[in-house]
Every structure is written in C-alpha cells, then in structure tokens.
A and B are shown apart, each in its own frame.
Chain A
Amino acid sequence: MNIVVCIKQVPGTTQVKVNPDTGTLIRDSVEAVLNPFDEYAVEEALRIKEKQGGTVRVITMGPPQAESALRQAIAMGADEAWLISDAAFAGSDTWATSYTVSRGIRALGEFDLVVCGKQAIDGDTAQVGPGVAEMLGIPFVAWVRKIDDISGTSLRVERLMEDGYDVVELPLPSLITVVKEINEPRMASLKGKMRAKKADIRTLTAADLGADAARLGLKGSPTQVLRSFVPEKKTGGEKISGDVPELVTKLKSTIQELGVIK
C-alpha cells in the first residue's frame, strides 16, 4: 500500500492570543508545529503500512521552513518527505492550494491512498482535502473516524456525521480526511528523531509540477482576503456565588428572560 499524507505547518494554536489593550495578535515565541489533525493522518497511514507493508510519503506546500513539519512526520515513522515550495505559490487560496498539492502528488508517481487531516487549525477551512481529491479525479470521503477494512482495491470507512456515522465503501486509489477520534498518534521515538534530523527533504518547484501557471498562487486564486481583524472579545458578565436556592432563582429568571424555552 503506497500512502501519501498531506500535511501543513501551523502556528501552535494556544500561542495565538490577542493583546486586550491593542487588539492585536500576540505572536511572541510562536512555535510552528505539525497541524494536530495531520498527526492523526500520519498515524493512520503508519498503522496501515504496519499491517500491509508499503510506504508512507508525506507532502506539504509552504515556505522552506515548513520542512520542520515534514521532519516531525518522519520522526513519527514516515518514509519520505516532499516540500512543494516556490515563490510562484505565494498568496494561494484553498483552490490554488488544492491544485498545487494535487500536482505535487501526481509528481510522486503511483499511490493507493491519500490521507489528510480534516482541516488545519489556522485556516479551519477543511476545503483542501476535498479539493485535492477532485483535482486528482479520485473518490473522496470526509470526516473518517475509523477504517473498518482495507484491501488492495477498496476500503470501508466510518464517516462522522452530526448525528452518528455513515459506513462508506470506496475503491482505491482514493482520498480520505480523518478526525481526531480515529486514533491516538504515537510520540516520536528517539531513533525516529535521529532519522528525521538526517532525512533528505526533497523539494518540488513550480517547474517540477508541470502546472498551469495561471492556476498558481495569487493569480490562480478565486478568493482574496479583503481584510482581517480581531473580533470583539466577550467579556465576562456577572459572577455570583451564594446559597443554592438563591443561585437557582437567579439562573431560572435569567433563562426565562432570554425567552429561549419553547
């Protein structure tokens, strides 16, 4: 089973805090990490490989420093790492990113399965996984919480829905995005970390992808960010303590005044 895992480097989420006085983002000592949802994707790929044999290749699109996220995946056990990086990709939205990543995966040659995390914690769009599948022309299932069965030609998965799950069968090659419930990602071993340090990260540039230049970067992106701003932060309201009956009276009258009970 040849598996490709798409990953993204993101800022460690808890560091993204807002300065309440200036309303600006505090970015001191921001540590860039492997997107947490992608850890589940790497882990699941490794588990399939351990059962069935094959290879796990990780691929990311980003600036040169994104290679540290690739090394994190190698430390977990991935075999090879590819960085899609070129100034021509600057300003890509989810459409152009999906296009670029799909070209990158094609450049790797044959594969059976592509695994992605359900979304990245910085953009939160969840659009690149399905976009890549569509542009690769392969079947897609989102929100996979369990792989029930996988053979050389097909897989059966559980897709998490709002009120339960669907059991879905799809042929290979195909692309799935996984949710946190699917597994418990392993910690990198010392040996893995050593290997990651020395690992050769291969770079793919725009020229390597054989891509249509009009579909890359800002130029190829349908959407643009007009502005971004820090939302008004909720501030705590009334905080009370006291006897239980008092608290209950207050709670009850508050809820009734909201007029939300039908």
Chain B
Amino acid sequence: MAITVDIEKCIGCKLCVRACAQDAIEIVEKKAVIDLAKCNYCGACVDACKKYGAITIARENAAEGIDTDSFRNVAVFIEQHEGDIAGVSFEILGEGRLLADEFGEKLIAVVLGNGMRDKAGELVKYGADKVVYLDGPDLAVFRDDTYAQLVSDFIHAEKPNVFLAGATAVGRSFIPKVAARVYGGLTADCTKLEVDREKRLLLQTRPAFGGNLMATIITPRHRPQMATVRHKVMKPAKLDPSRTGEFEVRTIAGGSIAERTKIVDIVKEVESTVNITEADIIVSGGRGMNGPDNFALIRDLAEVLGGAVGASRAAVDAGWIPYSHQVGQTGKTVCPKLYVACGISGAVQHQAGMQSSDYIIAINKDPDADIFQIANLGIVGDLFQVVPALTDSFRKELGH
C-alpha cells in the first residue's frame, strides 16, 4: 500500500489538510506532504482532492497469508447473564441472519452457559441455522481465560467468515483477546454492517473521535472478519416458532480449562432494574437537578415511562448518583429510542454518549444550552415544574 501526491496536480489548497483526521498532512512550499508515520490510509484526503486528483492510494490486492475462501458462515456470540440471554444478542442474531443471507451462508450461534439448554436451543427459532451450546459449571459467569479459550477453539473448529459479538462490558473485554489469538480483524463498537458480495467483505462502520468521525473498516486478507456491535442499533431477531435447525450441545467439564482469574463476588449496583445500555427509554438528569434528592423526579418519570435513569458527568461527579448511570464519553454510550435530558447543558462529551439516540427531548431553563442543538424537541422551561407535571399526567393516564 502506498499513498502518493502528484505535485504537478497539487495546488496547495489545503482541502486535504482539513479532511485528515490523523493530522498527517502539511503544506510545504505549496504542496501537500503526507507524514507516513501518522497516515492510516483512510482515503479522506483522496475524496477531498477529487477536483484535482492529486492524491492516490495504491492498495495491493495480492492475497497474502490465509485462504480466505475456506472460511464460511456468520457466527454470533450469545451473551447470557444468570441464564438470561442479553438483549444485544438478539440484535446480532437479527443482523447476523441478514448478513448470512447476503453472503449466501449459514448463521451459527455459540452460547456459553450452564444449565440453559432450553434457552440455547430456542435460538434456532430466532434465525440460527445451527446453535453450538457449550455447557459447564465454569461457564455460568463470564471468566476471561475460559471464554477466550472456548471461543477461540470454536473459531478454529468452525472457521467462520464473519464473527459478531455485542459491544458490551463482556464482549469488549474478551473478544479482543480472541482476535489476538486467531489473528482476525476486529472492529470495535460497530453501528452499521454491510456486505460487499463480490469481494466477500464485511464493511464495518463505526464512530470514532466521540462520534465526530465515522470510519468504514474492512479485513481484506485475514479471517474471521470480527466485529463488536453497539446495543440498540440493529433490529432484534423475531421469534419464528416454526423454524428448525441444528442444535449441538458440548459438555465442558469443571476445571478442564486453565483459568487464571477468579471471580470473588458479583455485585449489582444499578438503582433501577433497567440497565441503561439496554433501555428503550432513558431519562437523564444533570447539573440542573441541583442535588441528589431531586433525582427522585427523574426516577419517577423513568418509572412511569418504563425507562432507565441516566446522568451527566456533572451529576455523577457531585455524588448525586452512582457512576454506573453516567452517559457520555467517560461513561456509557447509549442509543435508546427516546432520551430525555433534564437540566443537562449538553457538553460535547455528553453528546458523544447519547447523540445517536432515535429521539431526543431536552428540558432546560437556559434557551442557549448546547443540548438544544441536537434535541428533536426542546422545552425551554423549569424542569422542577415540567417533569413532575408530566409524570403525573402519564400516571393518571396509564393508571400506575
């Protein structure tokens, strides 16, 4: 791969400099000079220079390394907590089914758990052509070495073309270890997956720079093409009771896999029972809540709507609510169907964690608050009046 600037064509206009997210281009004596130590060959400058056509990237097509054709099928890692299958797993089953159909391949689900045979078998009815269920006492809860070992073994045995997992605390912990072992190409936290059928490539699009830049990533010469997928972006698979498929159960004997980490305790800490990354509705409070007690207003509205409680960094830093509720760059990234921001000014860092929500409502007394720039509906008003009145109104109507 090589990137070159044709100095005959370059006019020193700096369009490429502005397009470059890596800060790799400088204009020296009115010509673009690319710092190869910084360039990641993304091609943004080539697009920016369309008019002059001065920058070109030569991508080598010679297939090196492995025989990519010997890898077939789309595999998805099914995450479970206490035997319940995580919401994001149904989303990647839905997306995996679409991808498998486009590639003309099968969809294989791999489940690690203990005593959840029925739930694992059910996944056939959610679109899997084959379910591989690994059952054993050491698989009940997530353990780093055990999960990385078994999923790597699964990949070596099944040789899938594509491998997907949820971009969860668990998925993002151990899938990179699996990718390190199998020398697969792994793309983090994808929000869009497409197929190039001719080249048998998965086009993986993900946000970077806190959502200010999107990048489409490919894995040309390695397999599997692996991705962790963000919650709530893909459509969940629907139950089809008539579907049939293969169901393979393998028993993993206790102590048969070397595990160096030891789980001493598992502590649940979220106030409400709804996990914010899985919630369809999130009601969030910020600095404008003026204190911990006022978060009751947020909780009440969230409860009546059947949603979860979120918070801005300011509210968490002030100690009004635990960190597990924090939305934003240093907290969680969420994309619910509805996000209600109450008393949140909307700093860039907060926006990075919630701007891909389907619908955003902001309630803030400051008409110039940044949050209004991304809100679908902005309410300029006193949240201490509006929020409880809204809760009451819903409570009366919904009768709870």
Would A27 and B18 be within 8 Å (CB), given that A230-B212, A252-B394 are in contact? yes
Q: Are A130 and B180 CB-contacts (below 8 A) given A124-B188, A139-B260?
A: yes
Tell me the smallest distance from the CB of A30 to a CB of chain B, in Å. 6
* Residues of chain A with a CB closer than 8 A to B264's CB: 156, 167-169
Do the beta carbons of A95 and B183 come within 8 Å of each other? Answer: yes
List CB contacts (< 8 Å) of A130-144 with chain B: 130-131, 133-135, 139-143
Interface stretch (choices A73-81, A190-198, A201-209, A219-227): A219-227
Tell me whether B148 and A226 are in contact (CB under 8 A). Answer: no
Contacting pair A168 B210 (CB below 8 A):
no
A185 within 8 A of B: no
B35 at the A interface (CB under 8 A): yes
Q: Mark B52-68, 1 if CB is under 8 A from A, else 0.
A: 00000001000010000
| A43 at the binding interface (Cβ < 8 Å) | no
Q: How far is the CA of A98 from the CA of B221 in the complex (A)?
A: 18
Question: Does B70 touch A at the CB level, under 8 Å?
Answer: no
Interfacial chain B residues near A37, Cβ < 8 Å? 330
Minimum CB–CB distance for A171 against chain B, Å: 6
The answer for the CA separation of A36 and B289 in the assembled complex, in Å, is: 27
Residues of B within 8 A of A156 (CB): 264
Is B137 engaged at the interface, CB distance under 8 Å to the other chain?
no
Do A95 and B180 form a contact, CB below 8 Å, given A22-B18, A164-B324, A235-B373?
yes
What's the Cα separation between A110 and B241 when bound, in Å? 57
Is B180 a contact of A131 with CB atoms below 8 Å? Answer: yes
In the complex, identify which listed stretch (B41-49, B122-130, B242-250) lies at the interface while the others stay far away.
B41-49
The interface-forming segment of B98-106, B108-116, B269-277, B291-299 is: B269-277
In this complex, the member of B15, B36, B170, B172 whose beta carbon has the largest number of chain A beta carbons within 10 angstroms is B172
Given A130-B176, A225-B215, A244-B381: A91 and B348 interface contact (C-beta under 8 Å): no
A130 & B393 in contact (Cβ 8 Å cutoff)? no
Contact string against B for A residues 1-42, beta-carbon threshold 8 Å, 1 for contact and 0 otherwise: 000000000010110111100101111001000001100000
| Docked CA distance A128–B177 (Å) | 9
Interface size on A, residues (CB 8 A): 100
What is the CB-to-nearest-CB distance from A222 to chain B, in angstroms, rounded to a whole number?
A: 3
* B40 contacts A by Cβ under 8 Å: yes
B208 touches A168 (CB 8 A): no
Whether B40 and A247, one on each chain, are in contact in the complex, defined by CB atoms closer than 8 angstroms, is no
Q: How far is the CA of A229 from the CA of B181 in the complex (A)?
A: 31
* B186 CB-CB contact with A under 8 Å: yes
Known A-B contacts A63-B38, A134-B177; A240 and B213 likewise in contact (beta carbons under 8 Å): no
Contact B214 A134 (CB under 8 A): no
- Is A50 an interface position by the 8 A CB rule? no
The verdict on B83 contacting chain A, using a C-beta distance below 8 Å, is no
B169 touches A225 (CB 8 A): no
- Report the separation of the CA atoms of residues A219 and B62 in the bound assembly, to the nearest whole angstrom: 12
- Which residue from A160, A169, A227 sits with its C-beta under 8 Å from B44? A227
Q: Which of A19, A37, A89, A122 has the most CB of B within 10 A?
A: A122
Q: Does A180 contact B (CB under 8 A)?
A: yes
Partner of A163, one of B15, B261, B269: B269
In the bound assembly, the distance between CA atoms of A53 and B81 in angstroms comes to 40
Which residues from 148 to 200 on chain B have a C-beta closer than 8 Å to any C-beta of chain A?
148, 168-170, 172-174, 176-177, 179-181, 183-189
Q: How far is the CA of A99 from the CA of B311 in the complex (A)?
A: 37
Q: Hey, which chain A residues are within 8 Å of B393, CB to CB?
A: 248, 252
For chain A, what secondary structure do more than half of its interface residues adopt (helix, strand, loop), or is it mixed? mixed
Assess A236 versus B374: contact at CB under 8 Å? Given A63-B37, A229-B44. yes
Tell yes or no: B338 within 8 A of A by CB: yes
Given known contacts A141-B261, A161-B169, A90 and B36 CB-to-CB distance under 8 angstroms: yes
Would B176 and A131 count as touching, CB distance under 8 A? yes
In the complex, how many angstroms separate the beta carbon of A221 from the nearest chain B beta carbon?
8
Contacting residues, chain B, for A261 (C-beta < 8 A): 281, 305-306, 398
- Asked if B300 is an interface residue, CB under 8 A from chain A, the answer is no
Report which of A125, A141, A171, A225 forms a contact with B188, defined as CB distance below 8 A: A125
Q: Is B220 an interface residue (CB 8 A)?
A: yes
**Complex CA distance for A142 and B148, rounded to whole angstroms:** 13
Say whether A151 faces chain B, with CB atoms less than 8 Å apart.
no
**Given A130-B180, A143-B169, A225-B40; A13-B329 close (CB under 8 Å):** yes
Beta-carbon contacts of B6-24 to A below 8 Å, as 1s and 0s?
0000000001011111010
Closest CB in chain A relative to B80 CB, distance in Å: 13
A62 to B382, CA, bound (A): 49
> Cβ of A127 < 8 Å from any Cβ of B?
yes
Report B4 CB to chain A, min CB distance, Å. Answer: 14
* A131 CB to nearest chain B CB (Å): 5
Chain A proximity mask over B245-272: 1 for CB below 8 Å, otherwise 0: 0000000000000001111111111100
**Distance of A161 Cα from B42 Cα, bound (Å):** 33
Query: Given that A127-B186, A167-B263, A181-B323 are contacting pairs, would A237 and B378 also be in contact in the complex, using a CB cutoff of 8 Å?
Result: yes
B314 on the interface (CB 8 Å rule)?
Answer: no
Q: Complex Cα distance A168/B348, Å? A: 34
Q: A216–B201 Cα gap in the complex (Å)?
A: 23
The distance in angstroms between the C-alpha atoms of A64 and B38, with both chains bound, is 10
Known: A221-B185, A238-B376. 19 other contacts (CB 8 A): A24-B15, A24-B48, A27-B18, A87-B36, A123-B208, A134-B148, A143-B169, A168-B262, A180-B323, A225-B42, A228-B21, A229-B44, A236-B374, A239-B378, A239-B379, A248-B386, A251-B361, A251-B379, A258-B338
B→A interface (CB under 8 Å): 1, 15, 17-21, 23, 35-44, 47-48, 59, 64, 142, 144-145, 148, 168-170, 172-174, 176-177, 179-181, 183-189, 203, 207-222, 260-270, 275-278, 280-281, 305-306, 323-324, 329-330, 332, 337-338, 348-349, 355, 358-361, 367, 372-382, 385-386, 389-390, 393-394, 397-398
Q: Can you list 7 residue pairs at the A/B interface with Cβ under 8 Å?
A: A18-B212, A89-B37, A162-B324, A166-B142, A229-B215, A237-B378, A244-B385
> Which 10 pairs show the lowest CB-CB distances between chains A and B?
A222-B185, A164-B269, A239-B378, A222-B222, A134-B180, A241-B380, A225-B42, A130-B176, A125-B188, A167-B265
